[in-house]
Amino acid sequence: MIPKGSLGWPVIGETLAFIACGYSSRPVSFMDKRKSLYGKVFKTNIIGTPIIISTDAEVNKVVLQNHGNTFVPAYPKSITELLGENSILSINGPHQKRLHTIIGAFFRSPHLKERITRDIEASVGLTLDSWVQLPVVHVQDEIKKMTFEVLVKLLMSISRGEDLDILKLEFEEFIKGLICIPIDFPGTRLYKSLKAKERLIKIVKKVVKERQVATTERKNSPANDAVDVLLRDVSDGASSDKQSQPLDFVSGKIVEMMIPGEETMPTAMTLAVKFLSDNPVALAKLVVLIFNFLLPFSKHKQVINETLRIANIINGVWRKALKDVEIKGYLIPKGWCVLASFISVHMDEDIYENPYQFDPWRWDRINGSANSNVCFTPFGGGQRLCPGLELSKLEIAIFLHQLVTRYSVMSHPMFKYSDVYNCISRGLVDDKKNYVLTKTWTAEEDKIVSFPTVKMKRRLPIRVAPVERTSHIPVEDH
């Protein structure tokens, strides 16, 4: 049967209630209210579209995995107008699968991982060093600069300088139009973003053209960046539609790949800083574990998972049914859109105890079902699982590691704080209750806004102070 629900008012449906929740402290309340009335799968009308929303983890899994022949991507008109019908988000079938495969293989390659790790460490180090010189650090802005630098180097091998600065300005103007009224005439947001895209494509195309010859000459050596990967795929003749306009094809795909990397990574890092600032016990435990276990990234996983679970940077995916589909007794009619809501599952108290509490160590206790790809999907799933998810986690881990080790100091009553790291590493101190944490940054009050994208309302202002000017915070059992 077709799921129960209400389509709301004519034309606007239930859009106003949906948007209002995005500006509240409980953005999932729109889903929760209707889930209590109609069940875990219900129908509504938001942003001018009659849609079926699933808050059921198993239904979401089917939607994510049955791709191509059953479901295709469906996005707001402003996105399709700005990116075009042949964008990475919209393409299906063998073309999408091949593109996903070659980019994913490159991102996972040992050659790249070794090099990009050095690049990330250097960029994070320079960024964090600069914070001490600033009276107020707007974390969201600073991290966006840092992650964009890493991203552009990964995609096009462009380093710091005037070219990077221009590229960033044009890109920021371009993405402002992703969620907007889809009207294209001079003065509108969509028009301005389309013009910015033209300028952006021109800059990228120049880089791609210069690299075309070099890529041919070094075809047997490892690819240095995504431009190399795409140019080699075009030259191999893998798809005839790429042959006619190879520069346009490669340039367009590079610009599109900037979008998820620019939006998700800085937001996750910014929220990690907020959550750790608001939870000194969690921060202290992270610092202790880093130095006690001497494994730089082994104990960041819990903090990363918990940040992604609560933040819900990708709160769901939109799909359109190509035919009638029945899942767990629910009928999704042909032509209807379905929203697989990740946020509803991540904040479900039947799956996660006290879901609104930031508790990284729940991942040590959690049962297997919640830790699977059914109930934890911060990067999507199925054929469109984010190909850069491992690199994303690596970048967050490096950032967290450098943040807490540069701007946190552990001390112990038995030792001078300058000696405590050596004492911990040699196993001389293991009574964690007696550690004292000095955190050298203070976050000002700020609020998470979840619409149209997840971000901090005030860009998360913090003040970074020298160690000697901070007070000690006792670490208690958690």
Place of tokens 């940040």: 307
The one-letter amino acid code at 284 reads A
- Check residues 256 and 214 and name the one with the higher pLDDT: 256
* Alpha carbon of residue 347 to chain centroid: 17
**If you average pLDDT over residues 199-220, what whole number do you get?**
83
How high is the pLDDT of residue 411?
58
How high is the pLDDT of residue 478?
36
pLDDT in tens, 239-256: 545 555 788 999 999 999
The one-letter amino acid code at 200 reads L
Which helix (H) or strand (E) is 214 found in, with range? helix 189-217
404 lies in some domain = yes
Residues 262 and 82: their CA atoms lie apart, in Å, by 17
For residue 141, give the nearest of 103, 168, 121 by alpha carbon. Answer: 168
Residues 381 and 374: their CA atoms lie apart, in Å, by 9
Q: Which long-range contacts (CB under 8 A, 24 or more apart) does 251-254 make?
A: 251/201, 251/204, 251/205, 251/208, 252/84, 252/86, 252/87, 252/201, 253/88, 253/99, 253/226, 254/155, 254/156, 254/204, 254/208, 254/226, 254/227, 254/230
The one-letter amino acid code at 351 reads I
Residues 40 and 32: their CA atoms lie apart, in Å, by 9
| Three-state secondary structure call for residue 75 | coil
78 lies in some domain = yes
Radius of gyration of the chain (CA): 24
- Check residues 404 and 396 and name the one with the higher pLDDT: 396
How high is the pLDDT of residue 216?
61
**If you average pLDDT over residues 339-361, what whole number do you get?**
94
Residues 320 and 70: their CA atoms lie apart, in Å, by 8
How high is the pLDDT of residue 436?
60
**If you average pLDDT over residues 183-206, what whole number do you get?**
94
The string of DSSP letters for 12-69 reads TBTHHHHHHHHTSS-TTHHHHHHHHHH-SEEEEEETTEEEEEE--HHHHHHHHHSBTT
CB neighbours (10 Å) of residue 301?
Answer: 15
Class of residue 39 by CB neighbours under 10 A (exposed 0-12, middle 13-18, buried 19+): middle
444 lies in some domain = yes
Residues 213 and 455: their CA atoms lie apart, in Å, by 41
CB neighbours (10 Å) of residue 132?
Answer: 14
Residues 130 and 408: their CA atoms lie apart, in Å, by 16
| Three-state secondary structure call for residue 330 | strand
Q: How confident is the model at residue 299 (pLDDT cuts 50, 70, 90)?
A: low
The one-letter amino acid code at 275 reads F
- Note whether 270 and 255 are within 8 A (CB): no
How high is the pLDDT of residue 361?
86
* Alpha carbon of residue 164 to chain centroid: 21
Mean confidence (pLDDT) of the chain:
84
| Three-state secondary structure call for residue 474 | strand
Report phi then psi at 443, rounded to 5: -90, 135
151 lies in some domain = yes
Query: How many domains does the structure of the chain reveal?
Result: 1
* Alpha carbon of residue 277 to chain centroid: 20
Q: How confident is the model at residue 272 (pLDDT cuts 50, 70, 90)?
A: very high
pLDDT in tens, 215-241: 666 667 888 999 999 999 887 765 545
- Note whether 154 and 103 are within 8 A (CB): no
pLDDT in tens, 113-168: 999 999 999 999 999 999 988 999 999 999 999 999 999 999 999 988 888 999 99
For residue 452, give the nearest of 18, 10, 7 by alpha carbon. Answer: 18
16 lies in some domain = no
Which helix (H) or strand (E) is 146 found in, with range? helix 139-156
40 lies in some domain = no
pTM above 0.85, yes or no: yes
35 lies in some domain = no
Owning domain of residue 108: 56-474
- Note whether 178 and 263 are within 8 A (CB): no
**Domain containing residue 353: CATH number:** 1.10.630.10
Residues 104 and 403: their CA atoms lie apart, in Å, by 28
How high is the pLDDT of residue 295?
58
**If you average pLDDT over residues 410-429, what whole number do you get?**
49
8 lies in some domain = no
Contacts with 40 (C-beta within 8 Å, 6 or more apart), sequence order: 54, 55, 56, 59
Percent of the chain with pLDDT over 90: 53
Q: How confident is the model at residue 310 (pLDDT cuts 50, 70, 90)?
A: very high
| Three-state secondary structure call for residue 179 | coil
CB neighbours (10 Å) of residue 194?
Answer: 15
pLDDT at 306 over 60: yes
